[in-house]
């Protein structure tokens, strides 16, 4: 492998990792607050892909993108209100099963409405413009993804640490009941968390699918699982951790494909997960959780 | 209800079931469709009861069913496909020299399949079960994807025949073979649940800290429950291979796990009879609901929505409704009993009376 191809793969890997990171943040935030593995998050990402296909058919990209972002956020909040809120006091397993149910429903609904055949993802010419650096060439989106990811992560961290709603989120994730007693409106905090998660999933979806060029009803499920692994890898609950985890997965996977082990690239993710759980279960940046009795 | 009447009822129920089975067996050709539904339901029931052992009785959330079933199914298939048929099955690359000579009868192959599944479950369980139970869900889900991608990978063409799948797996000789095996598996799980181990599992489900304080070794019991459950899931996979006759990696997608989860949730977490009931309802329901996939016309009016894929939408909505509104499922954590059945009909009757303006008995 020459230096040029190596750098080329690095670039692709970082770009893929950036999209993973954006989805992983959604997982990590929801898990931090509700202790729920939101299995439907990956499918929300797929729905955002379909939304983009349909809006971009009628509108120019600068109107379509805000519509997709808002639409995904609304769907995310509706899912939370309908499927998770009624189960707030139910056993944790019920909420997890509800999440699986939503995931199944979104997949089947997409299969029913848009058929199982992959649909071409529209090109935004602005994002697909090719840039050339010496021997390296890549589209604009490849450069945009990691930069945008880092900017968004920075904004997220600022929000969590400096703003009032961020403080409320931290309080809820530390102790649910005490936070409620202190007058924090749990429901609005949870909805806000889902809104942010969905927004990032929508942005991730635009960046991811622009490179992949097609969407099918199941194209969200595996990336969704991988992004959860990325979140665990970085330490669940930690936003910078989710970003690092996303980059590790993206780069690792790209290199496995480049070396000809494409069938094992999915397996790699989960082997990484099991190794990580064995060595450092709290993840790279996770806090040590103390069991409360 | 007296014990002798209960025994009488049990004997009557068993003989009715046996009579139906004998009748179906004698008219095999005519009822092949019904027989296949019954066999599939029973096999799913084993997988569901096994899932219930971890998820319902021990409170661990495992989602690796499809993977463990794949291991059982491939083990049984590879060991029971007749030696002379193997060249035809592995027509692309040929079969591994060493493997191609081994042929086992069905039952030992089935046990071996279960054993492999249990060993792999142990390998995942040892690191993961020491942690919070959430990680088990994601690790097992990931594991079942790994198994699927490994089975389908071209590097293993000599062993698993890659993405071409396996064919010519010997089928059941009669309906009694799968039914008897399934009943045996479920019986063993029920005996386990009613043993001291089972009580420890339930204690862990209710409160881990309290259970530990009572001297239950959490890790050991969780691992035992998870491995035994995986053993029977593997056996169910082996039965499924023999039932289907043809398997490939696509058979064991995540959807298979979700199907079994739906059965367990519908039947009630923590109820063996619920899982069996759920398994029959879901498997048969899937067939009955087929009309959702066909265009429907009432008179001249074309009913909207009815087209391919609608059945699965209805199915997933059903799962959501059960989870949100009937979170206990059909049976909750109760088991079937004749008294329960009588009470159910009595309640039905009295409620009707009340609705008709009958005198309520002051409750």
Q: State ipTM.
A: 0.80
In a domain, B143, yes or no: yes
Do B156 and B60 fall within a single domain?
yes
**Is A161 inside any structural domain?**
yes
For residue A199, being part of any structural domain is answered with: yes
Look-up: residue for tokens 């759920």? Answer: B278
Same domain, yes or no, for B100 and B213? yes
pLDDT in the model for residue B275: 93
Average pLDDT, chain B: 85
Q: Among A20, A21, A29, A19, which residue's Cα sits nearest to residue A195?
A: A29
> Over the stretch B22-43, which tens digit does the pLDDT of each residue have?
888 888 888 888 888 999 999 9
Over residues A79-135, the pLDDT tens digits come to 999 999 988 888 878 888 899 899 989 999 998 888 888 888 888 777 777 877 777
The answer to whether residue A289 is domain-embedded is no
- Interval A125-184: pLDDT, tens: 777 778 777 777 778 888 888 999 999 999 999 999 999 999 999 898 888 889 889 999
Cβ neighbours for B335, distance < 8 A, ≥ 6 positions apart: B271, B272, B273, B274
Between B130, B146, B323, which is nearest A94 by CB?
B323
Per the structure, the count of domains in chain A is 1
Q: Are residues B122 and B246 in the same domain?
A: yes
- Chosen from A30, A88, A99, A105 to mutate, greatest number of chain B CBs within 10 A: A105
pLDDT at B358: 46
pLDDT value of position A292:
47
Contacts of A111 in chain B (CB under 8 A): 309, 312
Counted across chains A and B, CB pairs separated by less than 8 A come out at: 115
pLDDT tens-digit profile of B52-80?
999 889 988 888 899 999 999 999 998 98
Measured between CA atoms, the residue of chain B closest to residue A290 is B132
Query: CB distance B139–A35 less than 8 Å?
Result: no
Do B48 and B145 belong together in one domain? yes
Within-domain flag for A293: no
Do residues B108 and B223 both lie within one domain? yes
The mean per-residue pLDDT over the stretch B160-174 comes to 83
Q: Nearest CA of chain A to the CA of B215: how many Å?
A: 16
Which of B149, B261, B312 is opposite residue A100, by nearest beta carbon? Answer: B261
Please give the pLDDT value at position A293.
47
Pairwise CB contact (< 8 Å): A266 & B145? yes
Total structural domains within chain B: 2
Task: Name the residue in chain B with its Cα closest to that of A278.
Answer: B127
* CA–CA distance, B86 with B82 (Å, rounded to integer): 7
B100 with B179, same domain: the answer is yes
Q: Are residues B349 and B242 in the same domain?
A: no
The CATH number of residue A220's host domain is 1.10.3470
For residue B306, being part of any structural domain is answered with no
pLDDT (mean) for B240-253: 90
CA separation, residue A274 to residues B227, B303, B334 (Å): 17, 50, 36
Chain A residue whose CA is closest to B62: A93
Are residues B345 and B244 part of one domain? Answer: no
CA distance A194 to chain B (A): 19
**How far is it, in rounded angstroms, from Cα B100 to Cα B106?**
16
Chain centroid to Cα B15, Å, comes to 25
To test the contact with chain A by mutation, choose from B130, B265, B309 the residue with the greatest count of A C-beta atoms within 10 A, namely B309
The pLDDT assigned to B243 comes to: 93
Instruction: Examine residue A44 and state whether it is found in any structural domain, yes or no.
Output: yes
Q: Does residue B260 lie within any of the structural domains?
A: no
Q: Out of B33-37, B117-121, B248-252, B327-331, which region has the weakest mean confidence (pLDDT)?
A: B327-331
Domain interval for residue A220: 3-279
Q: Quote the domain boundaries for residue B346.
A: 335-363
pLDDT band at B363 (very low <50, low <70, confident <90, very high): very low
Smallest CA–CA distance, residue B207 to chain A, in Å, is 10
Residues of chain A in contact with residue B267, where contact means CB-CB under 8 angstroms, are none
Of all residues in chain B, the percent with pLDDT exceeding 70 is 93
Confidence of residue A48 (pLDDT cuts 50, 70, 90): very high
Both B148 and B52 in one domain: the answer is yes
Q: How confident is the model at residue A24 (pLDDT cuts 50, 70, 90)?
A: very high
The pLDDT confidence band at residue A67, using thresholds 50, 70 and 90, is very high
The residues in A 56-95 lying below 8 A from B, measured between CB atoms, are 83, 86-87, 90, 92-94
Strand locations in chain A (E)? 119-120, 130-133, 136-139, 214-215
Q: Does any domain span residue A286?
A: no
pLDDT of A289: 56
For the segment B78-118, what is each residue's pLDDT rounded down to a tens digit?
898 888 888 778 877 777 777 777 888 999 999 999 999 99
B245 and B345 housed in the same domain: no
């Amino acid at each position: 492998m020459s230096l040029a191809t190596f750098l080329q793969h690095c670039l692709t890997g970082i770009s893929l990792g950036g999209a993973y990171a954006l989805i992983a943040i959604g997982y990590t935030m929801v898990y931090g607050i509700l202790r729920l593995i939101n299995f439907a998050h990956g499918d929300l990402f797929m729905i955002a892909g379909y939304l983009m296909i349909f809006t971009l058919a009628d509108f120019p990209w600068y109107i379509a993108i805000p519509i997709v972002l808002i639409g995904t956020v609304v769907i995310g909040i509706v899912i939370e209100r309908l499927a998770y809120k009624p189960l707030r006091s139910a056993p944790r397993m019920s909420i997890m099963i509800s999440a699986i149910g939503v995931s199944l429903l979104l997949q089947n609904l997409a299969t029913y409405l848009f058929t199982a055949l992959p649909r071409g993802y529209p090109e935004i010419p602005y994002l697909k413009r090719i840039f050339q650096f010496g021997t390296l060439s890549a589209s604009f989106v490849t450069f945009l993804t990691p930069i945008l990811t880092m900017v968004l992560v920075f904004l997220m961290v600022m929000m969590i640490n400096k703003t009032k709603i961020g403080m409320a989120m931290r309080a809820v994730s530390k102790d649910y009941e005490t936070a409620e007693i202190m007058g924090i409106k749990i429901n609005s905090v949870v909805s806000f968390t889902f809104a942010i998660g969905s927004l990032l999933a929508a942005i991730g979806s635009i960046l991811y699918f622009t490179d992949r060029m097609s969407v099918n009803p199941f194209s969200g499920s595996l990336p969704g699982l991988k992004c959860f692994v990325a979140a665990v890898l970085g330490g669940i609950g930690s936003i910078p951790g989710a970003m690092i985890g996303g980059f590790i997965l993206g780069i690792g996977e790209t290199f496995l494909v480049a070396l000809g082990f494409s069938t094992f690239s999915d397996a790699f993710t989960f082997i990484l997960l099991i190794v990580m759980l064995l060595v450092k279960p709290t993840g790279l940046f996770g806090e040590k959780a103390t069991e409360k009795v | 209800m007296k014990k002798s009447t209960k025994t009488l009822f049990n004997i009557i129920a068993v003989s009715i079931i046996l009579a139906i089975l004998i009748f179906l067996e004698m008219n095999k050709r005519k009822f092949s469709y019904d027989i296949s539904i019954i066999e599939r339901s029973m096999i799913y029931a084993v997988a569901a009861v096994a899932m219930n052992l971890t998820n319902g009785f021990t409170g661990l959330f495992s989602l690796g069913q499809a993977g463990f079933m794949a291991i059982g199914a491939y083990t049984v298939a590879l060991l029971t496909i007749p030696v002379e048929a193997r060249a035809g099955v592995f027509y692309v690359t040929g079969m591994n020299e060493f493997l191609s000579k081994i042929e086992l009868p069905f039952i030992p192959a089935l046990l071996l399949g279960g054993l492999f599944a249990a060993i792999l479950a142990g390998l995942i369980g040892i690191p993961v079960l020491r942690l919070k139970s959430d990680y088990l869900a994601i690790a097992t889900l990931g594991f079942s994807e790994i198994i699927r991608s490994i089975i389908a990978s071209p590097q293993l063409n000599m062993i698993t025949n890659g993405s071409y799948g396996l064919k010519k797996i010997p089928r059941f000789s009669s309906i009694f073979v799968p039914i008897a095996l399934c009943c045996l598996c479920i019986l063993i799980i029920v005996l386990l649940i009613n043993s001291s181990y089972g009580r420890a599992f339930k204690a862990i489900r209710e409160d881990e800290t309290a259970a530990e304080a009572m001297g239950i070794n959490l890790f050991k019991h969780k691992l035992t429950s998870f491995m035994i459950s995986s053993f029977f899931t593997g056996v169910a996979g082996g039965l499924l291979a023999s039932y289907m006759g043809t398997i490939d990696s696509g058979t064991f997608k995540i959807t298979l796990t979700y199907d079994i989860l739906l059965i367990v949730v519908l039947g009630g977490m923590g109820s063996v009879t619920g899982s069996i009931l759920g398994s029959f309802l879901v498997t048969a329901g899937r067939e009955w609901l087929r009309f959702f996939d066909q265009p429907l016309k009432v008179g001249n009016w074309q009913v909207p929505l009815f087209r391919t894929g609608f059945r699965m939408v209805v199915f997933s909505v059903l799962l959501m409704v059960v989870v949100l509104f009937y979170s206990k499922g059909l049976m909750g954590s109760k088991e079937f009993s004749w008294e329960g059945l009588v009470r159910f009909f009595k309640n039905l009757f009295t409620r009707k009376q009340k609705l008709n303006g009958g005198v309520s008995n002051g409750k």
